[in-house]
Amino acid sequence: MNLLTTPRNDMCYCPGCSHGMVLERLAAAIGATGRRPEQVCLVSDIGCIGTADRYFECHTFHGLHGRSITYAEGIKRVRPEMTVVVLIGDGGCGIGTAHLVHAARRRAGIKVIVCNNFNFGMTGGQHSPTTPPAGHTSTTPDGAADYPFDICETVRVNGADFVARGSALDPSIGTLIGAALNAPGFALIDVWELCTAYYVPSNKLTPPRLVELSQRLNMPFGVLFDRTCGPKSLRAAEAAPAATPSHLPHDQAPPAESQAATADVVLSWPERTEICVAGSAGQHIRSAAGTIGKLAVAGGLFAAQQDDFPITVRRGHSLSNLIIATTPIEYAGLDRPGLVVLLSRDGLERLGGLAELPADCVVVAASELALPPAPARVLRFDAEPLARAVGRASVALSALAFGLVEKEWIDPAALRGAAHRWAGGEYKDADIRAVDAGTALSRGAVT
């Protein structure tokens, strides 16, 4: 199965950039393993290669510069059966060196593909930790002075299980990527690439010169270490029993007293429900979704939350997509929202209107909000009296509780019971009040 959704020429990379070639090889190598999209998670770093996840049809995760290794290791620990692949550049390896070293040391079962083009491409061709001696970059116009970071040797001496290096221009790179994917334990492949926008023109780098460079630096191509050829050592991550409950890492499992308390609060829920809470910064949108998600998890359900807000977090829209399901959530995007809670024009604009909502969707909207035509059923609530009753910061949670009950996804008594039993933290009392008020709204205080 080909997980790549976009032909190389339609990708965002500069003409001749090696990134597209590596992605094609990676997709082919994953396809050869027979793994399905839901069995693969691609974790991307920052930089040009950090855009790669948009071209793949599988689980993806995109995070901060140099931190992709940590996200990947976390995902692998929770879902050890999943193939977790990191796409990181040479810049990311420099920024996240400690993560790389310790993931190798722990033999985390992740597969790291380093797209190494010897410079920071996305930001204008600055030198990176792998820039070769005398390499010309925008920050080393007279040539780099330092010896480059040997990524392969570093992870090898720190416990990696499989280490290889190769050229993106050599067709055998696909075989090396495949071997890395199939290797048990921590695998890394250092793929030397051409950045045709910056490093290539400044250094007259060509595919044959990549090979010469490898010889000159004594950084050979090929498989450099394969633990399966020597004494085997089982990785803790693969040998460890599944976390309890199976979808949670140990440190996120409900405390023992909460599990015991589930005996008298039963959350009966449809198989999969998709919710969007949309408003503005400061309306506690994310907290509302998070509170309901945590109650669901405490009650033995599965929940996934995705937030959307501008980088300037204290202004503009705030959206939370929340999925609650009775089975593990393989895909955390919203396909068919059944409930939309709308608190402000910012949220409405970010949603792009309501016309695309399915007809069986329920929209819960503040009464002062002018709404465009919607095929969905629209329920109004008066935000001002609600704010006076529960506090302005709890209006979103009340509205969400109201919507859940109106949607008949949960019995109001069960939702109140869940809040009283499992709400916690600094805002416990406020959350309980908000849920109580929201479920009371469903009993007739609708305007």
Interface segment toward ligand SF4; rule CB under 6 A; list 135-143, 191-199, 201-209, 419-427: 191-199
Question: By CB under 6 A, what part of segment 351-390 binds ligand SF4?
Answer: none
For residues 188 and 176, give the distance between their C-alpha atoms in angstroms, rounded to a whole number: 10
DSSP label at 9? Answer: G
Q: For residues 121 and 412, which CB has a smaller minimum distance to ligand SF4 in the complex?
A: 121
Judged on CB neighbours under 10 Å (0-12, 13-18, 19+), 175 is middle
86 binds, among Mg ion, ligand SF4, none (CB under 5 to 8 A by kind): none
Are the CB atoms for 303 and 296 separated by under 8 Å? yes
**Does 435 contact ligand SF4 by CB under 6 A?**
no
Q: For residues 48 and 440, which CB has a smaller minimum distance to Mg ion in the complex?
A: 48
Kindly list the residues in this chain that would bind Mg ion in the complex (CB under 5 A): 89-91, 117
Q: For residues 197 and 323, which CB has a smaller minimum distance to ligand SF4 in the complex?
A: 197
**Does 93 contact ligand SF4 by CB under 6 A?**
no
**Does 13 contact ligand SF4 by CB under 6 A?**
yes
Shortest gap between Cβ of 92 and ligand SF4 (angstroms)? 12
Question: Tokens 């409930």 — which residue?
Answer: 339
132 binds, among Mg ion, ligand SF4, none (CB under 5 to 8 A by kind): none
Q: For residues 163 and 197, which CB has a smaller minimum distance to ligand SF4 in the complex?
A: 197
Are the CB atoms for 396 and 288 separated by under 8 Å? yes
Contact characters 103-122, ligand SF4, x per CB under 6 A: --------------x---xx
**Does 14 contact ligand SF4 by CB under 6 A?**
yes
Count Cβ neighbours within 10 Å for each residue of 267-295 and write b for 16 or more, e otherwise. Answer: bebeebbbbbbbbbbebbbbbbbbbbbbb
Which helix (H) or strand (E) segment is 63 a member of? none
90 binds, among Mg ion, ligand SF4, none (CB under 5 to 8 A by kind): Mg ion
Radius of gyration over every alpha carbon of the chain, rounded to an integer in angstroms:
25
Q: Name, in order, each residue with C-beta under 8 angstroms of 281's C-beta and a sequence gap of 6 or more.
A: 309, 313, 314, 315, 316, 317, 318, 346
Binding region for ligand SF4 (CB under 6 A) = 13-14, 17, 19, 48, 117, 121-122, 195-198
